[in-house]
A and B are shown apart, each in its own frame.
Chain A
Amino acid sequence: MILERLEITGFGCLHDITTELHPRVTVVAGRNESGKSTLLRAVRGALYGVDAGGQGRAVDRSDWARYEPWTRGGYGLALTYKLDDGRRIRVARRLDTREQSVQVLELGGSELTDELRSGRSVTPGRFHLGIDEAVFCASAWLSDDGLRIDAPESARQRAGQLQEAIERLADTRRGVTAAQALVRVREAMDRVGSERRTASPLGVATARLRVLDHTLADARTRLAAVAVDQERLAVLDTTHATETEHWVAAERARLAGRLSELAARRIRLAEMVREGKLQSAEIEATASYARFPLDVETEVTTLGGELAQAKLNAEGAEARWRAAGERLRPIRARRDEIAEGIAAIGLAGEFDGDVGGRSQRLRGELIAVASAARRSGGDDAREAALRREIAATGLRTLPAAVIDELLPNLEAARRGGRRFALGALASAVIAVAVAVGLARAHLAVAALVAGLIGLIAAAGCVWRAWVRSSAASRARDTVAALALEAGVDPAELARLQDRLPVLRTLHEALDDAEVRTSRRQAEAEALQVALASLLERCRALAAEAGVVESTRGVEATPEAVIGGAQRLLDRVDGMALKSRRREELLAEDAVLAAEESACAQSSEDVDRSVRAVANLEIRLRTILKAAGIRIPEGDATAAVTGFRHACELRRRHDAARRRLDEMQRSAHSLGGDTATLESLETALAEQLMQCGGDPADALAAAPPDAGVLQALDLEAERARRAATSAGEQARELRARLGGVLDTLPAIADLEDERDACETARDRGLRQLKALRRAAELIEAASRVTHRELAPRLAESLGSRLSLLTGARYIEVNVDTDHFALGLLGRERPDMVPLDAVSHGTRDQVALLLRLALCEVLGGGGERTPLLLDEPLLTSDPMRRDLFIEFLHDLSATHQVLLSTADPAMVEAVSRVTSGDCSVVRLEDPPVLDVIGDARSLGRHSARMRLLAGQG
């Protein structure tokens, strides 16, 4: 890039200046405060704009404010430069406002403003030189501090070491290296601290958080415990209230029961007092019997009773004795008659009493056998009569089997087929009649159908008549054959065929009669055997009964046997009758003998009863006499009654005394006297009313028994204990809680503090994490950048240094850590550190390093012009000349703008460059010296005015 012309409308102290610049070396000369540095700053401003502050940078301290025109007028500038490809660019900036309007034109071409825009600013320098403003300032811009690369425009950014300056440029393009930035980051990390460093904010927050967590947990536990206790207290209060209520109710029930019982007791006591008076009166009334011998009452009563019974017995025995005398006579007469009768019967009848029964059983069997014998004789006559009837039928020769064969054949022969033949005729006639009738009624189809039906019916009947006629013919042939076999004329058979069923019946009856006759004959034989046995048994019985059989023959017929047996049984029955009569007489005699003996006993009973009465009277009299009671003669019963009355009085006396004693004891147990009970009753009534009860209701209620009262007492006591227990528990818990409640920590306060600590800790951790990450990223970025930059710098620097020093130094090494420089020369085999070379070489290296940085950081942009503001202020003439010579050589590739206030410097440049430069004098009037070939300027006319001091 070759800067050609600078036009300044107003910029700092400069106003309305247009200057042409030499393509190689332009010297801006002027005294101090003449605007030399401002002119160079205007060139930079044209390329990169003028910073107007904002985004945290103060406007009033910005370059835009600093370079506002000193006088009224426009604030702006324009720069024309030529690129390596020949294009000419004009950048015009109006700086009147912070927004700074700008226009970039390619002369003879189009507008490039938007193409060269980066964000909100238009920076042709960045696009065409390839470096941003910071790099431009650090490399192509040399202020009055000389050629030291580490001396950028502000003093505060100065650094002591060249490599550090490179490092700053490589790291941030500003006055900070990555290492310094990391120090800043670590300082911030130190400010945050760590969880382990208890003195650091993060450590404090963490430790406090731990303590607060513990405290909070403890507080929550205590609060929960208190909550549980409070809830329990509420339950206990409720229980206490319930139990107290229950207690009052139980006490009320108990008092009501007690009052009711007391009232009942008082009433009972009053009744007892009344009854006691009655008992006292009774005791007084029976006092004379107090010592009556009550112990012999039982004996006296028993004796009295026995005496009365003995008297009754004596009277009864007397009466019985008199009645027995009347009955004794007929008894004795009858006994005599019986003795005679027995004597008359004699001893014949003395045998076993069962003989009569056995005789009766044999007689029954005999009757049965006789009956059977009579039945066996009647069937022979019937048999003969049947045979006669069969003979009377005229078909005696026909056996029953032939009759059975004949009867169905005769029936079949008689039936024939005549009925069906008549039926066929009738069907035909009816069908013809119906068909004619229908035909007349013009129903031809119906007539035809009727005719057909009649024809079919007639045909059926004809077929049936034919079948039957055939069967009848076969039957008649069979009948004739059978008749001939049986020796009967078939014609006779046909005449007598109606008798065949009767004949068959007669044959059947005859067969039955013959069967029965054979059966009867067998039975008769068995009957004979039975009759013989029966007769023997009758004879045995008769022998047993002592009957002597007159004759003993052999009976030929059953009737004879039966008659003999009946006669034997009749005689046995007669013997049995006598025997029974004798026994009856003996029994009657025994009864009469007993009655006679009883009559004789009655006399003894009378004597015994009289003696017993006398004995009892003697014993009774003795006892009563001992008791002081005299018995009137013959009135023992009255004496006993009097004794018993006395005993009753004694008992009443004793009972009244016992009752009185008992009542006295009861009265004592009931409470002594009614007055005491009344006072107790009043007290209970008051207590009951205090418990909310009504004494009237209690008095009206039925008094409870002792069990119920005890239960009420127990219930009231239990309820009292429960209520007291609940109350005591509630009191204890309340007292315990009272000591705790006021010492409970405020959870919310603790939580607030805890949350704040947690927030602080989290914030610290988050900051720490971000800071660590920032440090990691910076370190990594630094490593990468240095590794890339160092070799390229070394290459760029080395090639130029060899050229410009006449191959005195052939190689340069740049350290990747901190950009430390080492030079390899011909004269020494090892690398020479930069601080070991001469000042001149060091200045040359510094300038070349700027160019190398421009080249490396520019990334292939245009060659950067060098703007040197008083670079050799403190150099001696020899070193100055050497450096000007070096600059002149360098200007072949990089345009040089050099400002100076020293006229000797201007002269030296003119001399060393042999006039191949131009000088811009910022004087009044402004002067442009063109030294050397004016054509090399590109333009010859320049109008320059020194405004400073003109107002």
Chain B
Amino acid sequence: MTIRLLHLSDLHLDRVFAAMGCQGELARRRRQGLRDALTSAGRLAMEQGCLAVTIGGDLYEHERAGVDTGRFLADTFASWRPMRVLIAPGNHDALLPGSLYRRVEWPSNVTVFNGTELEPVELTDGLTVWGLAHREPAWQGDPLATSPATSASGVHLALFHGAELGSRPEGKSIHGPFHAERIHAAGFAAALCGHYHRRRLDSTTGLLYPGTPEPLSFDDEGGRGPVVVEITDRGDVRFTAHDTNRWSVFTVECDAEECSSVEAVIDEVAMHCASTGYGDPERTMIRVDLSGSIDSSVSLDAFTVELAVRERLNLAAVKVRDRTAPYIDLETALVEESTRGAFVRAATAAATDADADEAQVLEDALRYGLMALSGAEVGLR
């Protein structure tokens, strides 16, 4: 008989969304969306007849998790009974003093791993899940360093929060580093992991990252959701991903080169946003990377564009990254015998030797100065 488990991770309950331009009611809606994702994952697990739900860490964010989150989790998990819930705390929900894992009265079907070395939990005859916990926010131990005694018969699965070094996204922090090649070597049929927000299903090595169930940043595009893990009679392990996310994010590139006014820019951005083919606009967040050379007389203001496009398309959020440059014939400007030419020369020369921050300031100064010297109102970005 095939045994099914449902694996999810990196839910990040109580996350802040200010970095996505969300605050107030919208941020609260996003956080509620995360809770809804957990509820729907449980529903999916029951529909699929799963024996247990495994959570590969970062279920919540420790520094923000309140009493209400603890109640929600305990009530939700209790409603899943008799289905078991196995939790391997990660770096954001590490098993620290004051952790929800320590202070919430968990229902009997919940098992929270609490050791930094893999411990077994036999789910059923012939299927054992080995899990561990991060007990500090920056744990650097190798989850697979100590191979547990898995020589016994049956299927053994590992459940932990860790960074697979072979597929680490650029800039992603390293917590619990390991190599995918070690999974089978350590005697596990598969490793049910958490940490990376992008989904990765690798049947060859047995590595599974379900990714975040809902997008947490503008980089988390595409379908998202938990993964059903099937263990066949023969001990084979199969992964099936389910896209259950209700929120969507998109990033569009918009060239405003031809735009001669702020209104034209708004029209262009709105057109690009509409071209993404989003579903529910109230659960859609779009990041616009605005580029191109714009005449200095156009007083472009990113906030104005964001507000206008959001209201026009009824989107949840629009975030404009103003990467436009003032239109300037640099060759001409550099030899122009005028204050404007001297200004461009001075700003360009200063930027040559400046560090990144100062260069950014000088770039903005050049933009603002050219706008002012063209007689237009200085549009701030």
- Residue numbers of A with Cβ under 8 A of B are 53-59, 61, 118-119, 132, 169-176, 178, 180-182, 184-185, 187-188, 191-192, 220, 223-224, 226-228, 230-231, 233-234, 237, 741, 744, 746-749, 751-756, 759, 766-767, 769-771, 773-774, 777-778, 780-782, 784-786, 788-789, 856-857, 859
Contact = CB atoms under 8 A, between A and B. Distances in A.
B64 A751 contact: yes
B293 interface: yes
Interface in B298-353: 298, 327, 329, 331-332, 336-343, 345-347, 350
Most buried by A among B261, B297, B361: B361
Contacts of A778: 339, 343, 369, 372-373
B125 interface: no
**A-B residue pairs, 10 tightest by C-beta:** A56-B295, A755-B18, A770-B364, A781-B342, A55-B327, A188-B378, A227-B98, A230-B103, A184-B372, A774-B369
Contacts of A234: 102-105
Contacts of A178: 339, 373
A781 B346 CA distance: 8
A53 B342 contact: no
Interface of B: 14-19, 22-24, 27-28, 31, 61, 63-64, 66-68, 70, 97-98, 102-105, 257-261, 293-298, 327, 329, 331-332, 336-343, 345-347, 350, 360-362, 364-369, 371-378, 380-381
A318 B315 CA distance: 149
Nearest to A755: B18
B338 A172 contact: yes
A118 B332 contact: yes
Given A55-B295, A749-B28, A777-B350, 18 more contacts: A55-B293, A57-B295, A172-B375, A173-B340, A181-B369, A182-B372, A184-B372, A185-B368, A187-B377, A188-B372, A748-B14, A755-B16, A755-B23, A756-B18, A767-B364, A778-B339, A778-B372, A781-B345
A172 B373 contact: yes
B343 to A, nearest CB: 4
Given A53-B260, A767-B380, A769-B361, A859 B337 contact: yes
A841 to B, nearest CB: 28
Contact of A748 (B27, B365, B369): B27
Nearest to A788: B337
Contacts of B18: 751-756, 759
A766 B364 contact: yes
13 contacts: A56-B293, A56-B298, A171-B338, A171-B339, A174-B373, A184-B378, A228-B98, A233-B103, A752-B18, A752-B24, A774-B368, A778-B372, A857-B337
Contacts of A57: 260, 295, 297
Contacts of B368: 185, 188, 770-771, 774
A215 B365 CA distance: 35
B378 A173 contact: no
Contacts of A188: 368, 372, 377-378, 380
A777 B343 contact: yes
B19 A755 contact: yes
B103 to A, nearest CB: 4
A756 B23 contact: yes
A385 B61 CA distance: 139
Contact of B339 (A237, A773, A782): A782
A231 B102 contact: yes
A176 B373 CA distance: 6
B364 A785 contact: no
Contacts of A173: 336, 338, 340
B361 A766 contact: yes
A747 B63 CA distance: 8
- Of the candidates B16, B347, B377, the one having the most CB atoms from chain A within 10 angstroms of its own CB is B16
B379 to A, nearest CB: 8
A747 B14 contact: yes
A56 B290 CA distance: 14
A778 B17 CA distance: 39
Given A119-B332, A172-B338, A769-B361, A185 B67 contact: no
Interface centre among B294, B338, B339 (most CB of A within 10 A): B339
Given A58-B260, A230-B103, A782-B339, A119 B331 contact: yes
A223 B361 CA distance: 39
Contacts of B336: 132, 173
Considering residues A55, A184, A771, A786, which has the most beta carbons from chain B within 10 angstroms of its beta carbon?
A: A55
A227 B15 contact: no
B15 to A, nearest CB: 7
Given A227-B103, A744-B66, A777 B374 contact: no
A856 to B, nearest CB: 8
B361 A172 contact: no
Contacts of B337: 785, 788-789, 856-857, 859
A654 to B, nearest CB: 73
Contacts of A119: 329, 331-332
A231 B97 contact: yes
Contacts of A180: 375
A66 to B, nearest CB: 15
A53 B295 CA distance: 10
B260 A770 contact: no
Residue from B293, B347, B373, B375 whose CB has the most chain A CB atoms within 10 Å = B373
B364 to A, nearest CB: 3
B339 A781 contact: yes
A173 B365 CA distance: 20
Nearest to B61: A748
B369 A185 contact: yes
A55 B102 CA distance: 61
A785 B102 contact: no
B339 A785 contact: yes
Contact of B331 (A118, A228, A766): A118
Given A173-B338, A230-B67, A753 B372 contact: no
Contact of A192 (B105, B294, B331, B380): B380
Nearest to A786: B339
A773 B359 CA distance: 11
Contact of B258 (A54, A172, A176, A780): A54
A233 B234 CA distance: 47
A615 B297 CA distance: 161
B362 A747 contact: no
A756 B259 CA distance: 29
Contacts of A859: 337
Contacts of B98: 224, 227-228, 231
A759 B368 CA distance: 20
B365 A774 contact: yes
Contacts of A746: 28, 66, 68
Contacts of A169: 338
Contact of B64 (A747, A753, A785): A747
Contacts of B380: 188, 191-192, 767
A218 to B, nearest CB: 14
A184 B381 CA distance: 15
Contacts of B371: 184
Q: Which of A53, A59, A181, A786 has the most CB of B within 10 A?
A: A181
B306 to A, nearest CB: 13
A737 to B, nearest CB: 8
